[in-house]
Chains A and B, each alone.
Chain A
Amino acid sequence: MPRWWKQTVNLFWELVLKDFRVRYRNMSLGMFWSLLNPLVMMVLLTFVFTRIFRSEVPHFPLFVLCGIVPFNFFSLSWLTGTAALVDNARLIKRVAIPRMLVPFSTVVGNALHTLIQLGLLLAFTVGFGYTPNVHWWWLPVIWLLTILFVCGLSLATSALNVLIRDMRYLVESTNLVLFWLVPIFYPFSAIPPDLRDVYQFNPVAALVLAMRQILMENTSPAASLLWKLTLVSLVSVAVGGLLFRRLERRFYEYL
């Protein structure tokens, strides 16, 4: 392996580790806190949609958790990814590092953090009587594609955030909209048929659907969903990368 590659990999992991260590070091209960949020959301949504609005969906707590975990990953990693360059301004102005690593490592750090929540989700799945099966091998595939998508998206928004600091508020609002537009607490079948194709182009929605197919229906995700997810992820990385390269030369002046 060439030296620059080893340097880059080393720096990348050190940045990911830093985020991870800093996040948990000052919490007495450490990882427990990252489980609390999805659990509270699960209980709340289950209460509202089984006691107040009567949902027909079986195993509602598991169903809703399949939506919360991917959505939490997406919203948090996109938001922190967007703020990554501005938050690390001192670093970027003082050390000559490949700057793409900064949003990348933030997103991947969040993905590691999500592994804990994913563990919780799998435990619930087994608790509800489902058994691990061969379709579970699709889980890493769809998650990697989604991580790639968020990386591309964060490249674009983090670079824009350097030039226009309002970007993060736009991201926050978009996350709020997505909470409703991703089928978290309603099933895909409740979406009007003419909108379903559009929904599948949203990688977060696609991830939620695929999670439910794998964990609750014991099937592989549909081929059409997979290629749409792949396409959107690749386009997002390509566009994000190009935009980042274009704006990168101006970072020093604007940070």
Chain B
Amino acid sequence: MSISSSQGIALPLIEFENVTKSFPLHSGQNLLRQTVQAFLRNPRGERFIALNDVSFRLTKGEGLAVVGRNGAGKSTLLTLVAGLSHPDSGRVTVRGRVGALLELGTGLHPDLTGRENLYLNAALLGFTRAETIAVEDRIVEFAELGHFIDEPLRTYSQGMTMRLAFSIAVHAQPEILIIDEVLAVGDARFQKKCQQKIMEMRNAGCTFLFVSHLGGQVQHFCQRALWLDGGKVRLDGDCETVLATYEEFLRGA
């Protein structure tokens, strides 16, 4: 995937054009009986509309904060950017390598050692073997695990696990980094180190997509904010204005 056209006109890295995404309303269990029942009762399949006609674009180096209440469609938007699900209608275009910190530690296995998990997790994030070997030492050093790296993950504290996961994710050198309220990693000192690392990546031209119910930390990293409400874009503009309006709305509600 190319990042920009040869004429030097930068194409947006993320482009949503009238994107609508819905989910089927079902009981969660998909046994044959329920599938048949649901079809008989509701043959056209009623669906919950998570995103309704959403459009926005994000260019290289921008940081976008996505805010909104629970159920506003923030997570759905992230899964579409990460390529985990597909829109019902409209178009999602993503140009560039996406690194998604949707849920830190996904794919880590408690019975494997830190180093084995490092290799597995790096592979899940799209590293080749040679690339993993090249950054292995830096990941271990950043995560501050010392000799624990060769111990099974189940002997780790919560903070150590998160440090390892975060360290792998930021070393994947993504062009687009999606962060879903995961910056509460480790102790205050390590959190600061993470924020510094993110700032460093931002200055190096990495594009960010932050998701949060609240403003707070996002203001450091984002110039723009997108407020989602009930699956629709309520407001899209510079971070301070949108967050101020959103917070005012929250107080009023």
Interface on chain A toward B: helix, strand, loop, or mixed SS? helix
B84, A96: Cβ atoms closer than 8 Å: yes
B207 CB to closest chain A CB (Å) equals: 16
**Could you say which interface size class chain B belongs to?**
20 to 34
Residues of B contacting A94 in the complex (Cβ-Cβ under 8 angstroms): 84, 100, 102-103, 106-107
A10, B132: Cβ atoms closer than 8 Å: yes
Task: Tell whether A197 is near chain B: CB-to-CB under 8 Å.
Answer: no
Residues of B contacting A95 in the complex (Cβ-Cβ under 8 angstroms): 84, 100, 106-107, 124-125
B123 CB to closest chain A CB (Å) equals: 4
A190 CB to closest chain B CB (Å) equals: 37
Residues of A contacting B79 in the complex (Cβ-Cβ under 8 angstroms): 93, 252
Q: Mark A156-169, 1 if CB is under 8 A from B, else 0.
A: 00000011111000
B120, A7: Cβ atoms closer than 8 Å: no
| Complex: A26 Cα to B110 Cα, angstroms | 11
Q: Mark B69-93, 1 if CB is under 8 A from A, else 0.
A: 0000000000100111110000000
Given the contacts A22-B111, A94-B106, A10 and B129 also touching, CB distance less than 8 Å? yes
Q: Mark B126-137, 1 if CB is under 8 A from A, else 0.
A: 111110100000
Interface on chain B toward A: helix, strand, loop, or mixed SS? loop
Task: Tell whether B98 is near chain A: CB-to-CB under 8 Å.
Answer: yes
Residues of B contacting A100 in the complex (Cβ-Cβ under 8 angstroms): none
| Complex: A95 Cα to B98 Cα, angstroms | 10
Instruction: Give the residue of B24, B31, B129 whose beta carbon is less than 8 angstroms from that of A253.
Output: B24
| Complex: A74 Cα to B100 Cα, angstroms | 36
Residues of B contacting A26 in the complex (Cβ-Cβ under 8 angstroms): 111
| Complex: A252 Cα to B82 Cα, angstroms | 12
Residues of A contacting B100 in the complex (Cβ-Cβ under 8 angstroms): 94-96
| Complex: A217 Cα to B26 Cα, angstroms | 57
Given the contacts A94-B100, A95-B106, A253 and B23 also touching, CB distance less than 8 Å? yes
Instruction: Give the residue of A10, A15, A25, A164 whose beta carbon is less than 8 angstroms from that of B35.
Output: A164
In the complex, chain A residues 211-254 whose Cβ is within 8 Å of any chain B Cβ: 249, 252-254
B84, A6: Cβ atoms closer than 8 Å: no
| Complex: A3 Cα to B97 Cα, angstroms | 13
Task: Tell whether B109 is near chain A: CB-to-CB under 8 Å.
Answer: yes
| Complex: A3 Cα to B86 Cα, angstroms | 24
| Complex: A92 Cα to B119 Cα, angstroms | 18
Residues of B contacting A17 in the complex (Cβ-Cβ under 8 angstroms): 116, 120
B171 CB to closest chain A CB (Å) equals: 15
In the complex, chain A residues 4-21 whose Cβ is within 8 Å of any chain B Cβ: 6-7, 10-11, 13-15, 17-18, 21
Instruction: Give the residue of A21, A96, A166 whose beta carbon is less than 8 angstroms from that of B31.
Output: A166
Task: Tell whether B214 is near chain A: CB-to-CB under 8 Å.
Answer: no
Return the chain A residue nearest B29 by Cβ.
Answer: A165
| Complex: A7 Cα to B86 Cα, angstroms | 23
Residues of A contacting B106 in the complex (Cβ-Cβ under 8 angstroms): 90-91, 94-95
Task: Tell whether A181 is near chain B: CB-to-CB under 8 Å.
Answer: no
A7, B111: Cβ atoms closer than 8 Å: no
| Complex: A94 Cα to B79 Cα, angstroms | 8
| Complex: A95 Cα to B24 Cα, angstroms | 22
Task: Tell whether A97 is near chain B: CB-to-CB under 8 Å.
Answer: yes
In the complex, chain B residues 17-37 whose Cβ is within 8 Å of any chain A Cβ: 23-24, 29-32, 35
Task: Tell whether B112 is near chain A: CB-to-CB under 8 Å.
Answer: yes
A164, B119: Cβ atoms closer than 8 Å: no
Residues of A contacting B82 in the complex (Cβ-Cβ under 8 angstroms): 96
| Complex: A14 Cα to B120 Cα, angstroms | 5
Given the contacts A18-B120, A163-B35, A93 and B111 also touching, CB distance less than 8 Å? no
Binding site for A on B (CB under 8 A): 23-24, 29-32, 35, 79, 82-86, 98, 100, 102-103, 106-107, 109, 111-112, 116, 119-120, 123-130, 132
Sort A-B residue pairs by CB-CB distance and give the 9 closest, nearest first: A252-B85, A14-B123, A6-B128, A94-B106, A11-B123, A96-B83, A166-B32, A10-B129, A14-B120
Q: Please, could you name 25 A-B residue pairs with CB atoms under 8 Å apart, sorted by A?
A: A3-B128, A6-B129, A7-B127, A10-B127, A11-B126, A14-B119, A17-B120, A18-B116, A21-B111, A21-B116, A22-B109, A22-B111, A26-B111, A90-B106, A91-B107, A92-B84, A94-B106, A94-B107, A96-B84, A164-B30, A164-B31, A165-B29, A165-B30, A252-B79, A252-B84
